[in-house]
């Protein structure tokens, strides 16, 4: 009797089927894995929002300061100010944030930034609401459910900041020249070709990112859902307190 076995053609067909199934399933697995990270990130955002809620309740409605207060002292970063309400520092890092600045060993692309400056958080503060700015007080904004307080920072942005500069965004005729100072920094904040900011991680989670709003709820959004202009009142989309 002759032993039966696979022919070369049959073997090649099986290999081709496996390769096709692998090509189909791998993106699905990657998307599912990223979805899990997105949900963990969303959990971080909700905890940060709750911590901010408690902080403002304890400080007469005022938001915490940022890194720039008192000469860029890290003690004034918002992460330090709300730490007593969070207890854990793990919530400051999105599981999809693979920035090299977490290690603190890098060559800074921006002048005046010293070496070994470590990244404090994946979630950056909207500059309209920090320190002595006109919207640093909770009741200064009407539509709190529509204005973004925190956004996921780009992994490439310098760890000098714990906040982003939405007043430097937009076309040449719409960005805020009063608040965006020094003006030459704008080149690090806005991409005029793509019409989008370079400060935020806009597509980290399946084409979008998580945001924390001024009423402290968290939501996933695409860039085109948060960036729009309705002149003259609103120039900075969902990041603009003038809503």
Amino acid 17: pLDDT: 82
The full DSSP string for the chain is -PPP---HHHHHHHHHHHHHHHHHHHHHHHHHHHHHHHHHHHHHHHHHHHHHHHHHHHTTTBPP--TTHHHH-GGGSHHHHSHHHH--SGGGS-TT---GGGTT----SSTTPPTT-----SEEEEGGGSTTSTT-BGGG-S-TTTSEEEEEBPTTS-TT-SEE-GGG-S-TTTS-TTTS-SGGGGGGTEETTTTEESSB-TTTBTTBEEEEETTS-EEEE-HHHH---BTTTBSSGGG-S--
Neighbours of 88 (CB within 10 A): 9
Q: Quick: pLDDT tens for 70-100.
A: 555 556 788 888 999 998 889 999 999 999 8
State the Cα–Cα distance between residues 98 and 1, nearest whole angstrom.
61
Amino acid 1: pLDDT: 52
| Residue 83 CA neighbour count, 13 Å, CB half | 13
State the Cα–Cα distance between residues 228 and 148, nearest whole angstrom.
13
Amino acid 169: pLDDT: 95
Per-residue pLDDT of the chain (243 residues; tens, 9 = 90+): 555 666 777 777 778 888 787 777 666 556 678 789 999 999 999 999 999 999 999 988 888 887 765 555 556 788 888 999 998 889 999 999 999 888 765 444 444 344 456 788 999 999 888 766 677 777 778 888 999 999 999 998 877 678 999 999 999 889 999 888 888 889 989 999 999 999 999 999 999 999 999 999 999 999 999 999 888 888 999 999 987
Q: Quick: pLDDT tens for 16-54.
A: 888 787 777 666 556 678 789 999 999 999 999 999 999
Query: What are the Cα distances from residue 188, in Å, to 72, 102, 157, 179, 183?
Result: 19, 20, 9, 15, 10
Instruction: For residue 19, give both structure tokens.
Output: 């390769």
Amino acid 25: pLDDT: 62
Can you give the residue ranges of every domain in the chain?
9-107+116-239
**For residues 52 and 216, is the Cβ–Cβ distance under 8 A?**
yes
Phi/psi for 101 (5° steps) reads: -75, -10
């Amino acid at each position: 009797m002759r032993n039966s076995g696979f022919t070369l053609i049959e073997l090649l067909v099986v290999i081709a089927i496996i390769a096709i199934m692998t090509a189909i399933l791998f993106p699905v697995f990657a998307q599912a894995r990223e979805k899990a990270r997105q949900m963990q990130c969303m959990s971080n955002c909700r905890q940060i929002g709750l911590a901010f809620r408690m902080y403002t309740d304890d400080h007469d409605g005022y938001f915490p300061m940022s890194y720039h207060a008192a000469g860029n002292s890290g003690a004034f970063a918002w992460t330090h100010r709300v730490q007593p309400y969070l207890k854990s520092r793990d919530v400051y890092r999105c599981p999809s944030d693979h920035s090299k600045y977490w290690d603190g060993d890098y060559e800074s692309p921006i002048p005046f930034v010293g070496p070994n400056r470590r990244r404090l958080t994946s979630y950056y503060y909207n500059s309209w609401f920090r320190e002595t700015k006109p919207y640093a007080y909770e009741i200064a904004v009407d539509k709190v459910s529509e204005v973004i307080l925190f956004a996921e920072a780009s992994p490439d942005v310098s760890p000098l900041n714990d906040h982003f500069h939405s007043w430097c965004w937009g076309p040449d005729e719409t960005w805020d020249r009063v608040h965006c100072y020094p003006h030459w920094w704008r080149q690090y904040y806005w991409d005029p070709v793509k019409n989008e900011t370079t400060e935020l991680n806009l597509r980290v989670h399946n084409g979008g990112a998580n945001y924390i709003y001024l009423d402290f709820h968290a939501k996933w959004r695409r860039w085109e859902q948060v960036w729009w202009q309705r002149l003259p009142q609103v120039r900075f989309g969902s990041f603009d307190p003038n809503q």
